[in-house]
Structure 1
Amino acid sequence: MIRAGLRILLAIFYAAAGYFHLAAPEPFLQIMPDWVPMPEAVVFWTGIAELLGAVGLLQPWSQPLRRAAGVGLALYALCVWPANINHFTMDMAREDGGLGLAYHVPRMMAQPVIIWLALWVGGTTDWPFRHRN
């Protein structure tokens, strides 16, 4: 029951993020590392990936699709980590300190949790919980 609830919550989170990537890409473009080619296309396709992952997590009839969505969203979260790190370094370099450590440190610490959560709610892993038969 907890896994299903968190799966729905994560799907809502990714659906909202995907919507904002498509509807208002400017903030995402601002934190994109300079070395990323075609940043507008990357933001667009990351939004599509988030939306597809959210839909995949919500499939009640297909465990393989939920697993694929969980793996895809975990990989996605890993791939966007450089943008989060770039945002952290750019923001902290501002004279006013930007959003500050109280925003960025929890965000950096949450990234591995989000990766694990996508895998767990997708049903790819039961770690660290025991699977009871």
Structure 2
Amino acid sequence: MRNVGIFLACALIAFWMLGGGVVHFVSPEAFFPIVPDWLPELEVVLISGAVEIAIGLGVIVRRTRALAGLAFAALCAGFLPLHLWDFFRPDPVFEVPVAASIRIGVQFALIAIGLWLWKASGR
């Protein structure tokens, strides 16, 4: 059962990170609204896209899986302040408060999945 859990966690993270990472390069402007004004939009989007692709590839390779799981949890934890900032600003990306609340809750679930994969893959 543990192997099934590892497979599902890896599939979720790889799909989420590789898909999202590619979109950062194909349509970077889609992510500009979530980048705070005091940060360079394009650079932040491209760097985060590259990190997402690296994590997506990392969970596929058994040797790097634990580290990639930890990196995924750290990245999701790093994005959490941005989601909270967006939730409380006057013109949030997700205009519907319920959608923004769900997004914040999903961040916590993703952090937990990354930490679980890190531990389950043998650190």
- TM-score calculated relative to the size of structure 1: 0.77
With 4-13 and 14-23 compared, the bigger mean Cα shift is at 4-13
Alignment-derived partner of residue 21 in structure 1: 24
Alignment-derived partner of residue 32 in structure 1: 35
Structure ranking higher in helix proportion? 2
Q: Give structure 2 stretches of 5+ with no counterpart.
A: none
Q: Which runs of 4+ in 1 moved over 6 A?
A: none
1:99 equivalent among 95, 99, 112: 95
SS in 2 for 1:34: coil
1:64-123 Cα distance to aligned partner (Å, 9 max, x none)? x11111111111111122222233234xx35xx9531221111111111101111212xx
Paired residues for 1:53-72 under 5 Å = 53-60=55-62, 62=63, 65-72=64-71
1:22-43 Cα distance to aligned partner (Å, 9 max, x none)? 111112111112233x231111
Task: Tell me how far apart the structure 2 counterparts of residues 72 and 2 of structure 1 sit (CA, whole Å).
Answer: 18
Tell me, yes or no, if the aligned pair for 1:29 and 1:39 is still in contact at 8 Å.
yes
SS in 2 for 1:125: helix
* 2:77 alignment partner AA: L
Alignment-derived partner of residue 7 in structure 1: 10
Q: Does 1:73 align with 2:69?
A: no
Aligned residues: 116
Instruction: Sort the Cα spacing of 1:118 and 1:98 in 2 relative to 1 into closer, same or farther, 3 A.
Output: closer
Alignment-derived partner of residue 46 in structure 2: 44
- TM-score calculated relative to the size of structure 2: 0.82
Identity %: 23
> Greater Rg, structure 1 or structure 2?
1
Q: Give structure 1 stretches of 5+ with no counterpart.
A: 127-133
Q: Does 1:114 align with 2:110?
A: yes
